[in-house]
Amino acid sequence: MAFHIRTDDAEFWVRDGRITFSPQEGAETRSAACAIAGLVDCHAHSTFDLSDRGLAPGSAAVVTANLADYFAAGVTACRDTGGVSMAAVDAHDPRLIAAGRFLAPPGRYITSWTLPTTAAELVDAVGAQVRSGATWVKIVDDWFSPENGRVEQHYEPAVLAAAVDAAHRGGARVAMHCMDTASVEAGLQCGVDSIEHGCNIQPEQIERMAAARVAWCPTVTLVSGFMLGQELPDPQYQERARRFYLEELYALLPLAAARGVTILAGSDTIPPAEFWREIANLHRYGLDAQTALASATSAARAYLGLPDIGEGSPADVVLYDADPRLDPDVLSRPALVMIAGEVLSAR
């Protein structure tokens, strides 16, 4: 089966699961306003039961079900930023770029999610993740202390630097969970590849991210809701974080984009069907519509080394009836989803 895809500004063909710009005999034409290679969720947790299906967290089955939900939503690739098991890594799916376990010290962060990892164990744990096939490593560097409720950093700078070095030597990259300025600072000093969340990040830190080519995955939909929607155990922190999400981020996200920081759209634990809201929210926080969309498409693909629409690329194609840059809500209603040349769903 061959397809001829025609949009307002592109034309290409699909045959044998690949994209080609050479016209193909007998191809079935599908017309739409816009075609992309599919959205990329750059901060996903595919070992969680994201859509409350009653599947066991950490199982191979839940990863498979989440990917099916992502595909139906027009999301054709994910970066998994931490699992409750190695199931995302073990899926060996080219559309799932996966970190292994969440690494955090014993008793810190959400203990049912993590691989408890003391400072003395961190470098070896990173090596073990990479040897198991993880192409990213997730380090959780701060969270509310179980003793005093305050957001505290987890690892010393020298330990983090050695851990990042171990990941890089193994060919993997490092994503660091940062809830506060101090952890962003630690991440920058130890050479991480991406800052996750980046709450209370400072303008001067954004300048250094640009210089060092550190990406930022702000996960604004989930984290702004978390900060604004409930009482946190650290009132002083919460006041700062609320100011960050109610005011400062509206200037900082456009600043980061203007300086050339790669901004990545990530859902965190929002169900796959709702991922598109992150793109809408990045736009609401001041990214222009093109940059907001690129954070889940072209910029995300380039950063993660994923194929985009091009000669010989796998035919992952998502069509929309209108331009999502004019109205991000369009992203919630893909007109057609194709994976490797097979139409999964079409309206």
Smallest gap from residue 43 Cβ to Zn ion (A)? 6
> Residue 80 or residue 234: which is nearer to Zn ion going by CB?
80
Residue (of 87, 45, 39, 38) closest to 270 by Cα position: 45
Smallest gap from residue 268 Cβ to Zn ion (A)? 4
> Residue 49 or residue 268: which is nearer to Zn ion going by CB?
268
Binding positions for Zn ion, rule: CB under 5 A: 268
> Residue 109 or residue 155: which is nearer to Zn ion going by CB?
109
Task: Report the residue closest to Zn ion, judged by CB.
Answer: 268
Smallest gap from residue 226 Cβ to Zn ion (A)? 11
> Residue 194 or residue 313: which is nearer to Zn ion going by CB?
194
> Residue 142 or residue 268: which is nearer to Zn ion going by CB?
268
Smallest gap from residue 82 Cβ to Zn ion (A)? 6
CA distance 69 to 32: 22
Residue (of 253, 246, 211, 205) closest to 229 by Cα position: 246
